[in-house]
Amino acid sequence: MTLQATLSELVRDFKANGRIVIVGASLAGLRAAEALREEGFTGPLTIIGDEPHEPYDRPPLSKQVLKGWVAADHTTLPRLQALDADWRLGVAATGLDRATRQVRLANGEQVPFDRLLIATGTRARQWPDPTEAGLQGVYTLRSRDDAARLQQALAARPSRVLIIGAGFIGSEMASICRELDIPVTVAERGPAPLAGALGAVIGEIAAEMQRDGGVDLRCGVAVSSLDGDASGHVRRARLSDGSTLEVDVVVASLGSIRNVEWLEGSGLAAGVWGVGCDAGGRAFDINGVTTDTVYVAGDVARAPHVLYEYQFLAMEHWDNAVLGAKVAAHNMVNVEPGYRPNLLLPGFWSGQFGVNIKSVGVPPFGDQIVFTQGSVKDRRFAAAYGHRGRMVAAVTFNQGRWLEYYARLIEQSAPFPPPPPGWDRPADMKPMPAEFPEPGVSTAFPDVVLTGHDPNARSAEFRLRH
Partner 1 sequence: MQIVVDLNRCQGYAQCVFLAHEVFRLGGEEALTYEPNPDDARLLQVERAAAACPVQAIVIGRSEDVTP
Q: Is 44 in the site for partner 1 (CB under 8 A)?
A: no
Return the CA Rg of the chain.
23
Q: Is 356 in the site for partner 1 (CB under 8 A)?
A: yes
Q: Does 75 participate in binding partner 1 (rule CB under 8 A)?
A: yes
Q: Does 462 bind partner 1 (CB under 8 A)?
A: no
Q: Residues 16 to 35: which contact partner 1 by CB under 8 A?
A: none
Q: Which stretch binds partner 1 (CB under 8 A): 54-62, 123-131, 329-337, 446-454?
A: 54-62
Does 420 engage in binding with partner 1 (CB under 8 A)?
no
89 binds partner 1 (CB under 8 A): yes
Number of residues near partner 1 (by CB under 8 A): 37
Strand residues in 299-399 grouped as ranges (E): 301-304, 312-315, 347-352, 355-361, 368-375, 380-387, 390-397
Residue 59 found at the interface with partner 1 (CB under 8 A):
yes
Angle (CA) 435-441-443 rounded to 5° is: 80
- Closer residue to partner 1 (CB): 52 or 433: 52
Among 265, 341, 351, 431, binds partner 1 (CB under 8 A): 351
Applying CB under 8 A, among 51, 57, 97, 208 the residue interacting with partner 1 is 57
Minimum CB–partner distance for residue 171 and partner 1 (Å):
13
Nearer to partner 1, 322 or 369 (CB): 322
- Does residue 69 interact with partner 1 by CB under 8 A? yes
Q: Which amino acid is at 199?
A: G
- Residue 63 one-letter amino acid: K
Strand partners, 296: 118
Q: Does 319 bind partner 1 (CB under 8 A)?
A: yes
C-beta of 74: minimal distance to partner 1 in Å?
Answer: 4
Nearer to partner 1, 47 or 135 (CB): 47
**Nearer of residues 339 and 349 to partner 1, judged by Cβ:** 349
Using rule CB under 8 A, residue 70 touches partner 1 = yes
φ, ψ for residue 311 (rounded to 5)? -70, 150
308 CB neighbour count, 10 Å cutoff: 18
Q: Are 96 and 85 in contact (CB under 8 A)?
A: no
Under 8 Å between Cβ of 17 and 42: no
- Residue 74 sits in the site that holds partner 1 (CB under 8 A): yes
354 binds partner 1 (CB under 8 A): yes
Q: For the CB of residue 212, give the shortest distance to partner 1 in the complex, in Å.
A: 13
Q: Tell how far CA 80 is from the center of its chain.
A: 23
CA distance 7 to 342: 24
Spatial CB neighbours of 220, under 8 Å, sequence gap ≥ 6: 188, 189, 190, 191
Can residue 408 be called a binding residue for partner 1 (CB under 8 A)? no
- Cβ 101 vs Cβ 114: under 8 Å: yes
CA neighbor of 286 nearest in space, from 100, 98, 465 = 465
Task: Pick the closer one to partner 1 by CB: 88 or 189.
Answer: 88
Indicate the residue type of 288: G
Q: Which amino acid is at 375?
A: S
Minimal distance, residue 104 CB to partner 1, in Å: 22
Among the residue ranges 262-270, 305-313, 342-350, 441-449, the one whose residues contact partner 1 (CB under 8 A): 342-350
Contacting range for partner 1; rule: CB under 8 A; set: 138-146, 270-278, 352-360, 422-430: 352-360
Determine if 376 is a binding residue for partner 1 (CB under 8 A).
no
Q: Does 424 bind partner 1 (CB under 8 A)?
A: no
Q: Which element (helix H / strand E) includes 176?
A: helix 168-179
Closest contact distance (angstroms) between CB of 458 and partner 1 is: 26
- Residue 181 found at the interface with partner 1 (CB under 8 A): no
Q: Is-contact 72 61, C-beta < 8 A? A: yes
Report if residue 151 touches partner 1, rule: CB under 8 A.
no
Query: Which class for 107: exposed (0-12), middle (13-18), buried (19 or more C-beta within 10 A)?
Result: exposed
Chain mean position to CA 96: 24
Nearest partner of 120 among 328, 321, 279, judged by Cα: 321
Whichever of 82 and 230 has its CB closer to partner 1, that residue is 82
What's 225-255 look like in SS3? Answer: EEEECCCCEEEEEEECCCCEEECCEEEECCC
What residues make contact with partner 1 under the rule CB under 8 A? 54, 57, 59-60, 63-64, 69-70, 74-84, 87, 89, 318-319, 347-349, 351-356, 358, 380, 398, 400-401
